[in-house]
């Protein structure tokens, strides 16, 4: 690698066609793009992906779209038309992975089912993300992350014992599904490079969250236990909660190992708790978690936050502040790890900060190519330049062929700062 050149990225030879909308499936292709995959995103003409209208906007530009669809190229096609179907069939001939999230039967009805697509490209991996999967009695029902968070059992255990079940304040099921979909796409790609054959990945949004919900299934199977809401406590280790200091700051603390619990007690100057029969080991502490929290909160209430942090860090006792987003982006460790990155955005006319690549590879690190593009920003480059469609046919189909200047801006926007 020459001086000044960016290091290669792990997935630079992977090509992805993303015909999905909303959150879970687009997050899948986002994770792939982060590590170098060339992702072409197909959006509905005129309106685009619904995420463009989710959450907050600046000057009419949806901000979350800029994050979820970073590093992708945007084209517009109506998949219900002859041109849309034809263009997708031509595009899949030269890609490794197609990502979609339409309800079961929709692509088949449009003439774009996996059998059709894989006839064009037998090596194609088709990642299908749906609410309830392609099979089973619920498969035809509409499904979203919010439903999955209830259906998989998350909401039932979230909240306080005397309160209602709580849904997460962000797209938890969608986000975990996006991660799992990217992982399964890589599993299938690894196998494809051995066998030369593609396959279908069938992933329901509730399934990843169900697996991540801890020991609930095995505990129910073997002991008949149905986990209930218990605030921030865990059913398998204690202490674990949020606590408030004398000056009103909140922090989280957990003592999963005996040595950890002993360091917590040393930091709080309550050594007697270690000898208390109610708290002598983790199983005893679980039975007396409420009483333990009272003792710990009483001890914690004697300290200001800065003093408590200094004591815990010095004694290597686990502690973390309950940060809001302002505190996160200003945190010296987050800054040092480069967990937040600023990228120039042509549409917004300035820098845009967002979460950086997750994880660091020593030789082929990820890099965000660009923020989410304008709708159809790459129509001329791909539909005209790559597929050879004439401008008149695109206009007749209600598509914007784009201008040469727009193409230049789109290409320039793919240079990471």
How far lies 228's CA from each of 87, 154, 225, 236, in Å? 51, 10, 9, 13
Nearest to 356 by CA among 339, 333, 337: 339
- Name which of 246, 177, 156, 198 is nearest 25 in CA terms: 177
**Active-site hit among 18, 38, 49, 174:** 174
174 is catalytic: yes
Which residues are known to be catalytic? 174
């Amino acid at each position: 690698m020459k001086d000044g050149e960016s290091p290669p990225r792990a997935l630079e030879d992977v090509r992805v066609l993303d015909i999905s909308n909303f959150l879970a499936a687009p997050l899948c292709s986002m994770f792939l793009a982060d590590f170098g995959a060339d992702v072409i995103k197909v959006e509905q003409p005129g309106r685009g992906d619904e995420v463009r209208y989710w959450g907050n906007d600046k000057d009419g530009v949806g901000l979350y779209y800029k994050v979820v669809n970073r590093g992708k190229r945007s084209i517009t096609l109506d998949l219900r038309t002859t041109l849309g179907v034809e263009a997708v069939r031509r595009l899949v001939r030269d890609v490794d992975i197609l990502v979609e999230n339409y309800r079961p039967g929709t692509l088949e009805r449009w003439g774009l089912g996996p059998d059709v697509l894989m006839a064009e490209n037998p090596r194609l991996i088709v990642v299908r993300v749906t609410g309830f999967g392609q099979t089973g009695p619920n498969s035809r029902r509409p499904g979203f992350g919010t439903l999955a968070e209830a259906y998989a059992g998350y909401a039932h255990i979230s909240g306080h014992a005397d309160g209602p079940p709580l849904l997460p304040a962000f797209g938890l099921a969608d986000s975990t599904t996006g991660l799992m979909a990217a992982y399964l796409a890589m599993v299938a790609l690894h196998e494809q490079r051995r066998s030369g054959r593609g396959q279908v990945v069938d992933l329901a949004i509730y399934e990843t969250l169900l697996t991540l919900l801890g020991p609930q299934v095995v505990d129910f199977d073997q002991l008949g236990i149905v986990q209930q809401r218990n605030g921030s406590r865990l059913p398998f280790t204690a202490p674990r909660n949020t606590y408030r200091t004398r000056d009103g700051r909140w922090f989280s603390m957990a003592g999963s190992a005996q040595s950890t619990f002993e360091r917590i007690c040393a930091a709080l100057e309550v050594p007697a708790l270690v000898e208390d029969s109610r708290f002598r080991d983790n199983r005893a502490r679980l039975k007396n978690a409420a009483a333990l929290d009272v003792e710990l909160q009483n001890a914690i209430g004697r300290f200001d936050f800065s003093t408590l942090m200094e004591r815990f860090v010095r004694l290597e006792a686990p502690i973390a502040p309950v940060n809001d987003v302002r505190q996160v982006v200003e945190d010296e460790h987050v800054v040092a790890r480069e967990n937040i990155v600023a990228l120039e955005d042509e549409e917004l006319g300035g820098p845009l900060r967002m979460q950086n690549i997750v994880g660091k590879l020593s030789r082929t690190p990820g890099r965000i190519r660009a923020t989410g593009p304008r709708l159809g920003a790459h129509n001329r480059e791909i539909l005209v330049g790559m597929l050879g469609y004439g401008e008149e046919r695109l206009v007749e189909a209600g598509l914007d062929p784009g201008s040469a200047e727009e193409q230049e801006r789109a290409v320039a926007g793919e240079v990471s700062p």
